[in-house]
Structures are given as structure tokens and as C-alpha cells.
Structure 1
Amino acid sequence: MEEKSISPWKSSLTYGLYLGIAIILISVIFYVTGNPFAKSAQWISYGVMIAGVIIAQFSYRKLLGEVMTYSQALAIGVLTMLFASVITGFFTYLLYAIIDPSLQEQLRLSIEEQLVKQGRVPEEQIDMAVEMAAKFQKPAIMFVMSILSGTFVGLIISLITSIFTQKKPKEDFSA
């Protein structure tokens, strides 16, 4: 049986676009409701990412004729998350640099509040920790970090989901 050679780029770009838009919608909903830094937004986004990767993998497997190797499933998952991360990173840049620059200060205050609540960081080190975190909260750095972290999360998700979405060809023993 011949293995079909279909590029994962177009499929992953399409599903990455859908996934990126879905994650942006979640961010917008939490932003509009006044909870832009809610933990529940992160957990919902992770669930959407997992679902998006799985849907992209099954769709690609269908294009391949219901036969897909582990490496093909891994590639489609990581590429989908890469494209989704570029889209969400661009949105994050626009949100923090143009739409609402005050979010940078709100994020700084949120981090400080979390550190105080946790109580693990001594009082005199909280300012230093918040100052260090603030260096990574510039819109351009957030854009790059969004792409890197999103792609890394996509790798982790895909390493796991590829186990279940791969489908090896049936061996033909007739000779």
C-alpha cells in the first residue's frame, strides 16, 4: 500500500487559524468581563488547545486516507499550535501595546497580589520578583514568548495525543 504524501502545512495553517481565533475569543470574553488574568481562562484555553490539536490530527489523518504515523501526527499538532501561537501572540501584542496599555500595570499588580497571597516569597523580595516579571511584560517580548510557549505546549500536547490519533496501516499478509 502506498503512503500518501500530503503536506501538513496547509492543514495545520487552517486549524491553527481556527484554534488561534478560539483562544482569542476566550481572552476577549474574560477581558470584557473584567477578568483578564483569571486562572479559569488559562484552563479553558488549555482544553481548547487540546481539542484543537486532536481535531487537526484527525482531520489530517482523514486526508491521508485514515493512515497516519506517530511522527505525522506529532508534526501536524506542533505546526497547528505554532500557527495558533503566532495569531494569539499578535493579538496579545495588539492588546497590550495598542488596545489597552494599562493591562501591563494591571498584570504587574496581579502578580504582586499572587505573590503576597502565596506567602512563599519574603516581603523584601516581592518587589524584586515583580520587577523581574515586569521586564518580560513588554508587548514585543510577550509576542515572542507567546509563540515559544505556545509551540512548546503544542509539543507536549502532541506528544501525548499522537499516541491516540496515529493509525498504522494494516499489514497485508497475502502474497
Structure 2
Amino acid sequence: MEKTVSPAKSAITYGIMFGAIMILELVIMHITKPDPLEMSWVSMVVNLFNWLILPVLFISLACNNFKKNHNGGFISFGQCLKIGVSVAVVAAVLYSIFYLVFTMIFPEFIPDAVAQVERVTRAQNPDMPEDQLEMSVSMVSKFMQPALAIPISIVMNAFIGLIISLIVGAIVKRDNPAAAN
């Protein structure tokens, strides 16, 4: 009977690292408070990292770690999918727990962020009707509340993890010929 190795160890390890980096970004952004009107590139870079670069990096690392260190140089497409989605979900859950605690410790975080969004929206769209601005700011406020932000974050990360895992899996998969028998 052949021993099967779970991809969970690689997924959890790299998911924790990914989540820790997203937490660090949140803390740094909160401490430095970059002005979005003067430094709009900062949020673009953070979003690029969180939604593209870091997921590709950590899913690739986790798949290759499992393949080389835990599975004798082999990894199936399905294992890549499991690892990738797991990395993304572990990172999102870790970040979400921190976000919940962070918003409790710093209750001004969400109102300050919403006020900043309103200020930027007014500056970028000076002709926007007041009722449309209020509706926009209200939606931002709702989506920043942990009760809505946490499940959305987990689902979005799982989806992004799935898409990236499909791509990474197509590249790194190497089926074990002995397993086919």
C-alpha cells in the first residue's frame, strides 16, 4: 500500500506567510497614512501585490515545495488546485481575523477610511451629485464593515487562488507514472 502525502502542510505554511504579509501591509498603511490624492500609486501597488504578485508567488512556492520536498518530484493538477485555493483561503482567514481585531482596537479605522474615500471622490468627481456621492460612500462603508468584508475577502481570495492555481498547475504539474497503474 502506497503512502499518500497531504498537500495541506505546504498550503498552510505558505498561506500563513501570505496572510502575514497582507497583515503587515495593513499595519504599515495605517501607520503611514499615505494621502491617496498625492500618492495614488501606493494603493495601486498594494492591490497589485495582494491580488496578483503575492498569490502567484505563494501558490507557486507551495506547489513546488510540495512537489519537491513532500511528493518525490510529482504533483498532479488536482493537488495544485487544492494547494492554491488552500493557500489563498488560509491567507484570507488569517487576514480577516486580524482585520476584525484591528477594527475593534482602532474603531476609528473604518470611519477614517470612509472619510478619505469621500474626500478623494469629491476631488476626482467635483460635479458628482450629492445624493450619488452619499450612496457611494454608504456602499464603501457597508463593504468595509467586518461582517461583510470578511466573507467577501475569503470568497474573493478563494476565487483568485483558483484562477492562479489553474495556471500554476498547468505549468508545474508532473504526474507520477507509478500512480497511474
Of the candidates 102, 126, 138, which is equivalent to residue 108 of structure 2? 102
Match of 1:129 in 2: 136
Match of 1:50 in 2: 56
Q: Deviations over 1:106-157 (max 9, x none)?
A: 2212332443455499424111121122122212322222222222221122
Whether the 8 Å CA contact 1:4–1:64 is kept in 2: the answer is: no
Match of 1:148 in 2: 155
Instruction: Note the aligned Cα RMSD (angstroms).
Output: 2.6
Stretch moving more, 19-28 or 162-171: 162-171
Q: Give yes or no for the alignment of 1:88 onto 2:88.
A: no
Residues 91 and 122 of structure 1, relative CA distance in 2, 3 Å threshold: same
Offset, 1:57: 0.8
Q: Map 1:110-121; keep pairs closer than 5 Å.
A: 110-119=116-125
Whether the 8 Å CA contact 1:11–1:60 is kept in 2: the answer is: yes
State the alpha-carbon separation in 2 of the partners of residues 81 and 120 from structure 1. Answer: 38
Q: Give yes or no for the alignment of 1:19 onto 2:23.
A: no
Whether the 8 Å CA contact 1:89–1:146 is kept in 2: the answer is: yes
Whether the 8 Å CA contact 1:74–1:155 is kept in 2: the answer is: yes
State the alpha-carbon separation in 1 of the partners of residues 122 and 175 from structure 2. Answer: 52
Match of 2:40 in 1: none
Match of 1:40 in 2: 45
Q: Deviations over 1:16-48 (max 9, x none)?
A: 112211221222222222239723222223322
State the alpha-carbon separation in 2 of the partners of residues 5 and 121 from structure 1. Answer: 62
Structure 2 runs not aligned, ≥5 long: 37-42
Residues 59 and 120 of structure 1, relative CA distance in 2, 3 Å threshold: farther
TM-score, scaled relative to structure 2: 0.80
Offset, 1:56: 0.5
State the alpha-carbon separation in 1 of the partners of residues 83 and 35 from structure 2. Answer: 30
Residues 120 and 89 of structure 1, relative CA distance in 2, 3 Å threshold: farther
Residues 10 and 121 of structure 1, relative CA distance in 2, 3 Å threshold: farther
Aligned identity (percent) is 29
TM-score, scaled relative to structure 1: 0.83
Structure 1 runs not aligned, ≥5 long: none
| Alignment coverage as a number of residue pairs | 169
